[in-house]
Structure 1
Amino acid sequence: MNIGIYAEGFISWGGGIDFIRNILQALTIHNDETASYTIFLLIKTNPIPNIKCCRAGYWVRKILRKTKISTHNYNTHIPHVIDAIKNIKGTFHTIFYHEHELEYIIKTYNIQIILPVLPSCYKSYIRIPQIGYIYDFQHEYLPHFFSVQEINQRKENFHEILSQCKTVIVNAQAVANDIKKFYPDCTTKIITLPFGATTPINLDVIDTKIIQEKYHLPSHFFLISNQFWQHKAHLIAFKALHLLNHKNIHIVCTGNINDYRNKDYFASLEKAIFEMNISSQIHFLGHIPKWDQIGIMKKAIAIIQPTLFEGGPGGGCTFDAVSIGTPAILSDIEVNLEIKHIENIFFFKTNNEKSLADTMSKIIHTPPTHLDQETIKINNTMRTLTCAHILNSIIQKEITHE
């Protein structure tokens, strides 16, 4: 059986890349045990990049067609994808293809199913099963963050994928509940993936001291690894740091600083930081290599996830934190509270800087006990295998039309 991991739409933001990485890791681990299928990572790009890759564990096949190459449409996200997947254990094949070549690729490599398919990326002309993916219903709960056109487009895309796909996967029970709420007549099978299907990370290859020096980081810091979108609520964390009034404690931020919905958002954060006189305690690193991010996370006191809305419990940064044993402080929104029976997860009242400051202070003065690395590794593998078995079951049922 040949499976296509369909990356279209996911590679433009860090959380999307992480989700594809987690799907790949789960399926390759399962496949190494069963050898039941061949996995192809499908990445659309314009133009096709000249990337050479001969690592053990995976290889890149470039599909070169007669296409007009122009510099303005080069996909700048490709290096981030390669960086994120380079340490995945297991075998898969990466195919870069041009805009109109997907059908050709599927036929050429006899791909029998593709997943996960974003609502905006469903292809009605593809005659093989497509497993859909719905991220969240933020547009229903926080409509002021979207234009009317964006809201209508989301609704149209969601309706199409829920009516055309036999199976749709989600990252949280809250999203599954929202599908029932907003699409009560939907007959599509909705499968919730388990929390923490993270990549088992070999920390031995990450030199945290070198990474700390590379980015000129302080000795004591919390980490926020989010895109700078308004609903991520960075300002609450900065206000909490101000309330903490501890000059030796810093916050390091990674992630793209641009929010296309509010181009002045980052500037407004910088202004607020200046007015609180904590500019020297906030460090903006932008989008950095994945394994640098993991190294920084390993050195952090804890990650902070102040988000107002998520499609998966804690977001991707919490998955990563759990996978390496770094404590996590999360807003107590409904989806985050789905995280249960996980060590060193702490909650604060959403949008409440005082509650967050109190939680930060508690962790500073009474550091939580860390799990040993062997236990972390075992837990990672078990979570990943759980996700793998669920995905494999979905794939088998789609292929056999059960």
Structure 2
Amino acid sequence: MRTPYPTNQPKRILLVMQGSESWIGGVNFIKNIIFALSSLPADLKSLCEIHVLLSKELGQEHYKDIVSLVNKVHFREDSLNHPVFEQKFLRKIFHRISEFNLSLDAFVRSNNFDFVFPMLAPPNRATRYRSAVWIPDFQHKHLPQYFTKNEIDFRDTLFARYAKLAFQILLISQDGFKDFANLYPDSVSKCTTLPFRISPRHEWYLGNPDEVYRRYNLPEKFLLICNQFWQHKNHLLVFKALALQKELGNIIPVVCTGHLGDYRKPDYSDEILSTIAQLGIAEQVYLLGLTPREDQIALVRRSAGLIQPSLFEGWNTSVEEARIMGKHILLSDLAVHREQSPPDALFFKPDSVKDLSEKMQSFYKDLLPGPDLTRESKARESGAELARQFGIDFLSLATGFTVSKPDASKCFANEKEGVLVTR
């Protein structure tokens, strides 16, 4: 018999911030959960309190837009007596720490949280609160050449521990679930597959993005890549395709946002710069580094289209950004990109300079600089609905109750069945 949902007691949810400036995708993942929950109808929002735990080392510019959307921001340095959340530290002491983070456990219990996500070390005993771990992807199984042996061993050990001990395991794609099922078939019942969506923010669609592209001294028409410069993001293929088109007399400007560096290959930024110079495309490639979020969104709007050339992804943020902005996107032909299935996508072989070059030329030729307000409006509406459903699905994960949404105007709780319904 299912337990009735205690409608008079909001569930206290603790979200543990992920990522850093070198992995902004982790930051955005947690923020997207917060945005999605904040987009829910008022009656559903009243069912939970949202708290976030983050480090003071994370620049305020990366979390200022969520402060007003959560009940409280907690800082690790003030709340925990052990820096176990730092992944570099965790790697160093992995075999010396217990299977459960006692410091976090004490913080959770003292603050009466009902759900914690994501746990970095799953509990090895029963707790009164719910929790879930997060496995972003299994890239180390598909592209081991980009990892050290220690990193591969660390991930294998950590994920095996998740499979054995975690209460719930969150995966963000069916592609990732297939990997998990192949590796840990006895633990698939613990898994929830929940592709994240981006909530269209009202302020993103205000004003004219021309001011931003002019401030960066960009050309009138350009294609945009929004990825940090990790090797598997495959920027080099794009640059070689640009050079091939230049030989044919076609100059295609490409703007790149994202942190210029790969911790797994410290000299990779030098390789990027030298490749651009050697190919003779420096005048058409614009490396902007890590831009403010509002600038990056404005550039998405102003671009003619996006390129997402990765060799591997768990679930790509720029694909979701293209979706909510109504942008055309040129995508590497990966199973997860097919799964994301953005409108107006053109796929290319991720290992073929020739295929990308030819498709980039036709892709670029047929597009105009943005924004296209009509397409944006439609994309914003459909994107908001996807984000609300993402919020509802996450709320189901956090509470353990099925949440359905025939209509977002009202909600009630069917306490006999333990099912939350909005209608």
TM-score (norm 1): 0.83
Find the aligned partners of 1:305 and 1:204 in 2 and give their Cα distance: 22
Structure 2 match to 1:213: 214
Q: Superposed, which structure 2 residues align to 1:294-313 within 5 Å?
A: 294-312=297-315
User: Counterpart amino acid of 1:317?
Assistant: S
User: Counterpart amino acid of 2:50?
Assistant: I
Alignment of 1:358 with 2:358, yes or no, is yes
Structure 2: gaps spanning 5 or more residues: 1-10, 82-102, 403-416
**TM-aligned CA deviation for residue 320 of structure 1:** 1.2
User: Counterpart amino acid of 1:259?
Assistant: D
Structure 2 match to 1:343: 343
Residue-pair matches, total = 364
Alignment of 1:26 with 2:29, yes or no, is no
Find the aligned partners of 2:258 and 2:116 in 1 and give their Cα distance: 29
Q: Secondary structure at the match of 1:185?
A: helix
Structure 2 match to 1:5: 15
Structure 2 match to 1:94: 73
Find the aligned partners of 2:222 and 2:302 in 1 and give their Cα distance: 8
**TM-aligned CA deviation for residue 104 of structure 1:** 4.8
Based on CA coordinates, which of the two structures has the bigger radius of gyration?
2
Structure 1 segments of 4+ aligned residues over 4 angstroms from their partners: 8-12, 120-126, 368-371, 398-402
Alignment of 1:386 with 2:389, yes or no, is yes
Find the aligned partners of 1:206 and 1:163 in 2 and give their Cα distance: 51
Find the aligned partners of 1:398 and 1:147 in 2 and give their Cα distance: 41
8 Å contact kept, 2:18–2:30: no
Structure 2 match to 1:114: 116
Structure 2 match to 1:59: none
Q: Once the two structures are aligned, what percentage of the paired residues are identical?
A: 28
8 Å contact kept, 1:30–1:388: yes
Structure 1: gaps spanning 5 or more residues: 50-74
Structure 2 match to 1:261: 264
User: Counterpart amino acid of 1:281?
Assistant: Q
Provide Cα deviations, 1:125-144, integer angstroms capped at 9, x if missing partner: 89332111111111111111
8 Å contact kept, 1:329–1:346: yes
User: Counterpart amino acid of 2:24?
Assistant: G
- Which stretch of the first structure deviates more once superposed, 246-255 or 151-160? 246-255
Alignment of 1:320 with 2:321, yes or no, is yes
Find the aligned partners of 1:309 and 1:263 in 2 and give their Cα distance: 20
**TM-aligned CA deviation for residue 336 of structure 1:** 1.1
- Which stretch of the first structure deviates more once superposed, 277-286 or 388-397? 388-397
8 Å contact kept, 2:115–2:399: no
Q: Superposed, which structure 2 residues align to 1:146-161 within 5 Å?
A: 146-161=147-162
Alignment of 1:291 with 2:287, yes or no, is no
8 Å contact kept, 1:168–1:188: no
Find the aligned partners of 1:296 and 1:307 in 2 and give their Cα distance: 20
Find the aligned partners of 2:174 and 2:72 in 1 and give their Cα distance: 32
* 126 and 319 in structure 1: CA distance in 2 versus 1, 3 angstrom threshold: farther
Structure 2 match to 1:16: 26
Provide Cα deviations, 1:245-303, integer angstroms capped at 9, x if missing partner: 25652111111111111111121121111111101111111111111101111111111
Find the aligned partners of 2:262 and 2:17 in 1 and give their Cα distance: 22
Find the aligned partners of 1:215 and 1:92 in 2 and give their Cα distance: 36
Structure 1 match to 2:379: 376
* 170 and 347 in structure 1: CA distance in 2 versus 1, 3 angstrom threshold: same
* 144 and 204 in structure 1: CA distance in 2 versus 1, 3 angstrom threshold: closer
**Which of 278, 286, 290 is residue 275 of structure 1 equivalent to?**
278
Find the aligned partners of 1:31 and 1:155 in 2 and give their Cα distance: 40
- Which stretch of the first structure deviates more once superposed, 166-175 or 181-190? 181-190
Structure 1 match to 2:142: 141
Find the aligned partners of 1:126 and 1:262 in 2 and give their Cα distance: 41
Q: Secondary structure at the match of 2:132?
A: strand
Structure 2 match to 1:82: 63
TM-score (norm 2): 0.79
User: Counterpart amino acid of 1:199?
Assistant: S
* 126 and 29 in structure 1: CA distance in 2 versus 1, 3 angstrom threshold: farther
State the Cα RMSD in Å: 2.6
